[in-house]
Amino acid sequence: MAVSENLAVQHHQQDTDYYCGAACAQMVLETIGAGILDQDDLYADNNGHSTIETNWYTGPDGLQWTMNDRRPAGFGNYFALFSLDTEEQISRKICWTIHHYQVAPIALVYGWDHWLVVRGYTASAHPASSADNSYTIDSFDLNNPWPPVPSSPATLPPPHDATDGCGSGGTRGIANENVTYATWQSTYMTGVPGGHWSGKFVAVCDPEPPAKRGGPRPKNPERHGDGSIIGPNALAELALAGLRDQGLLKREDWAHLRRAKPSGSVLVERLDRRQEFYALVPLRAARRTVATVSVDARWGFYRQAALTPEDHDHPWISQKEALDLLLKRRVELPERLGRLRIRKEIVCLYPHLVWRPCRESLSPYYPFYMFSVGNHRLYVRIDGEVFSSLTLNLKGI
């Protein structure tokens, strides 16, 4: 029987599009008694002490320095930076930190792009020691500080407080985003692509030694279908089945989804992966969207899910609304190429939504409608923001 550990880490969104490390530090430091510290100050500490390698917004060494410098005097432990050889080792290190020390680790994900807080896990058993590699991991629960404020779901700018409206569900802004271990491996904890930490898997955790490599391998997700794109009705059923199979409907914070019904789905293609597609399936109850479930669109297995804040409804715009947004404006092109006037007769719409980790979206729940005008690509994010390019390979935003 699976076991779970979830810490009550209040969620806070990042104040700018490059403050992810500051927001993560703010969340974790609050849980250990430091109060809600200012993200401007935390970012200055992170960035100013990211010295091992240049060009980081928040480098691993800078984040570790800030966590140790800002920890309250009564906190009887310290934070260690781990850059390990395998994803399995860092994932077990994360589980041990949560279970034994009751502190949420901060993990570097999407290569070197982004920091987020891991506040919980589900596994075959709780780790018995930092060296334990006998259990299998089923999923992680995350606090992703993206998108920046002021934006959905938080509409108020900082300063942050205990009722600031940040987060993706639950009470007091406690976020609820569940990611299967297979999705964690394939999408999130993918390893640093180059530089000082090249090939390493990085997180700020407790100081005990990590587990040795090895241990039981988790089961591969069960596949459905023949690899063709699955129809929307079947995807909706698979989304509900995934929540049940993952055991989320038995958890108190997800129990209200038992009454929820699927409301359509949208297809998303990964721009940075060949032949990888996922579907986002909104679930509605009491006349509002209560959660969004992600399902692999070719093979039908559950990938991840996120609750919607109680005072927030579905923010998505339709394909037609995205086109109407473009037709009403002139879009500034990159590299000072001027502004582009969009005419209905010359714009081409890609048939489905697209996503990849980038400065403009650091969450797979915020994909883009993609349009072509001549040799230019334009992107309308699903919440209505318009971009003329996607910014890639930024370190620690």
4 CB neighbour count, 10 Å cutoff: 16
What span, in angstroms and rounded, lies between the C-alpha atoms of 356 and 354?
7
24 and 172 in a single domain? The answer is yes
C-beta of residue 230 within 8 angstroms of C-beta of residue 297: yes
29 and 160 in a single domain? The answer is yes
Does 395 fall in a domain? Answer: no
69 and 147 in a single domain? The answer is yes
The two three-digit tokens of residue 273, written as one number: 């992966």
Give the pLDDT score at 172: 44
- Under the banding of pLDDT at 50, 70 and 90, the label for residue 314 is low
DSSP 8-state symbol, 56: B
281 and 160 in a single domain? The answer is no
What span, in angstroms and rounded, lies between the C-alpha atoms of 303 and 292?
11
pLDDT value at 336 more than 60: yes
pLDDT value at 95 more than 80: yes
Give the pLDDT score at 235: 95
CATH of the domain at 167: 3.90.70
Does 269 fall in a domain? Answer: yes
Per-residue pLDDT tens over the stretch 215-269? 898 888 889 889 999 999 999 999 999 999 999 999 988 988 999 999 989 999 9
249 and 343 in a single domain? The answer is no
Average pLDDT over residues 287-307: 95
Domain hosting 378: range is: 319-387
Give the pLDDT score at 69: 98
Does 313 fall in a domain? Answer: no
188 and 168 in a single domain? The answer is yes
Does 16 fall in a domain? Answer: yes
Does the pTM exceed 0.75?
yes
Does 381 fall in a domain? Answer: yes
- Under the banding of pLDDT at 50, 70 and 90, the label for residue 287 is confident
178 and 264 in a single domain? The answer is no
Domain stops at, among 205, 224, 258: 205
343 and 289 in a single domain? The answer is no
- Under the banding of pLDDT at 50, 70 and 90, the label for residue 175 is low
Share of the chain above pLDDT 70, in %: 97
245 and 267 in a single domain? The answer is yes
What span, in angstroms and rounded, lies between the C-alpha atoms of 46 and 18?
12
The two three-digit tokens of residue 45, written as one number: 């500490």
Domain total of the chain: 3
Per-residue pLDDT tens over the stretch 5-30? 999 999 999 999 999 999 999 999 99
190 and 164 in a single domain? The answer is yes
Domain stops at, among 189, 205, 221: 205
248 and 359 in a single domain? The answer is no
Half-sphere exposure of 218 (CA within 13 A, CB side): 23
User: What does each C-alpha distance from 344 to 203, 319, 329, 341 come to in angstroms?
Assistant: 47, 14, 12, 10
The two three-digit tokens of residue 68, written as one number: 């140790």
Least confident of 97-101, 137-141, 173-177, 224-228: 173-177
The two three-digit tokens of residue 7, written as one number: 């810490």
244 and 301 in a single domain? The answer is yes
Does 254 fall in a domain? Answer: yes
- Under the banding of pLDDT at 50, 70 and 90, the label for residue 164 is confident
Domain stops at, among 286, 307, 328: 307
- 24 CB burial (10 A radius; 0-12, 13-18, 19+): buried
Does 212 fall in a domain? Answer: no
Give the pLDDT score at 165: 76
Does 397 fall in a domain? Answer: no
